[in-house]
Amino acid sequence: MFSINKNIKQAHTLPALFYKDKEIFNEVVEKIFSRSWHYAIDSEKIKSNISIAPLNLLPEVLDEPILFTRDKHGEAHCLSNVCTHRGMILVEEGSKSRIISCKYHGRCFRLDGSFKSMPAFEQAEGFPCDDDNLPHVPFEEWAGMLFTSLNPAVSFKEMIRPIQERLSFLPLDTMIFDASKSKDYHVNANWALYCDNYLEGLHIPFVHPALNANLDFENYAYEIYPYCNLQLGIGNGGADSFDIPKGHQDFGKDIYAYYYWLFPNIMLNFYPWGLSLNVVEPTSHNTTKIRFRTYLYPEQNANFEDAPIDQTEMEDEWVVERVQKGIQSKMYKRGRFSPSMEQGVHHFHLLIQEFLA
């Protein structure tokens, strides 16, 4: 659609039109976001048996009402949150109810989504049938988090395999969500511009002085996988680094952070103290919500004054919002890639081209 050359040395970036055209954005929603994996909720929300947790998936864009349940047998489910009778939203708040009951006409479902009962339908023929059950939605549980997709183009396990293999030495299943260090940001820019910025370290010395002081910029490295990529932040010895076991491919390296990105909009920033999860959620073709969620390892006291996450975010927003203004220019068409420093951005643009095609 946009002719992104697979050879980064010859390739041009996505054109400015991609970031500002409403019709292209609508196509992105249908062909990318409806087929992608999304961070939904933490497993803690349905930790106990007999649990129900509703969610509006990607508000203002997909706007899909779903709910997670855990039944009496301890099995988790992801279901449509819309009654199969007349389309009523079923659940609006989390609960410990044993059934899902519609407040409109009293249709009831079990926590596995199967139809249970409905008044005044004794004379209905061929009732109930499979269509009266709540549709199931694909989901996966990983590192204490639940991810879902309406119609996944690729399995979640395939996407995260490089992360699981590389970070198997970390106790990811023990991480604890810290609400006090989590917040949302709102950016007046297209969602993909925010991802473009994240996916390259070329801007770090110019935009992030505090972060740059902790990194050995000359050894900043990139690795590309089918549906994710890694930016390896090598430290300069002035900040905490990972205690990497012998035999691991990174043993002996002073690693400040593993910056992983999952197509199209999930950023998993692993630090010695835990994880900073950043979820980039478009709210329109030119506005974006960034959800920052912090997870700590048990008994970890992260020194966030030394880890300039909030400062870095403010600097990124400043840049991205000005790029959003800049691409409105009639004189800007598209740019080129740095072959050594923008491999992640090139990978991102190729995947966008693939999905839209």
Say whether both 176 and 29 belong to one domain: yes
Say whether both 27 and 44 belong to one domain: no
Say whether both 195 and 332 belong to one domain: yes
| Residue 326 counted as domain residue | yes
Structural domain of residue 186, as residue ranges? Answer: 16-34+163-356
Beta strand spans in 22-135 (E): 38-42, 51-57, 64-70, 76-80, 99-101, 108-110, 115-117
**DSSP 8-state code for residue 215:** B
For residues 319 and 312, the answer to whether their CB atoms sit within 8 Å is: no
Query: How many domains does the structure of the chain reveal?
Result: 2
pLDDT reported for residue 304: 47
Determine the average pLDDT of the residues in 110-114. 98
Task: Tell me the three state secondary structure of residue 3.
Answer: coil
What CATH number is associated with residue 293? 3.90.380.10
| Residue 11 counted as domain residue | no
Say whether both 118 and 205 belong to one domain: no
Q: What is the model's pTM?
A: 0.94
Note the pLDDT tens digit of each residue in 182-230. 999 999 999 999 999 999 999 999 998 888 888 998 999 999 999 999 9
Determine the average pLDDT of the residues in 106-126. 97
For residues 190 and 285, the answer to whether their CB atoms sit within 8 Å is: yes
Q: Residue 48's Cα: distance from chain center in Å?
A: 25
Say whether both 23 and 42 belong to one domain: no
The torsion defined by the Cα of 192, 194, 200 and 201, in degrees rounded to 10, comes to 180
| Residue 177 counted as domain residue | yes
Alpha-carbon distance of 279 to 274, in angstroms, equals 16
Kindly tell me if the per-residue pLDDT of 332 is higher than 70. Answer: yes
pLDDT reported for residue 306: 42
Say whether both 187 and 306 belong to one domain: yes
Say whether both 261 and 343 belong to one domain: yes
Beta-carbon-side half-sphere exposure of residue 256 (alpha carbons within 13 Å): 21
Note the pLDDT tens digit of each residue in 49-68. 999 999 999 999 999 999 99
| Residue 294 counted as domain residue | yes
Number of other CB atoms surrounding residue 121 within 10 Å: 13
| Residue 146 counted as domain residue | no
For residues 13 and 345, the answer to whether their CB atoms sit within 8 Å is: yes
Which tokens go with 70? 């855990």
| Residue 157 counted as domain residue | no
For residues 306 and 205, the answer to whether their CB atoms sit within 8 Å is: no
Say whether both 90 and 121 belong to one domain: yes
| Residue 7 counted as domain residue | no
What CATH number is associated with residue 96? 2.102.10.10
- Kindly list the distances between the CA atom of residue 140 and the CA atoms of 54, 112, 172, in Å, as whole numbers in the listed order: 16, 16, 15
For residues 153 and 160, the answer to whether their CB atoms sit within 8 Å is: no
Alpha-carbon distance of 161 to 154, in angstroms, equals 12
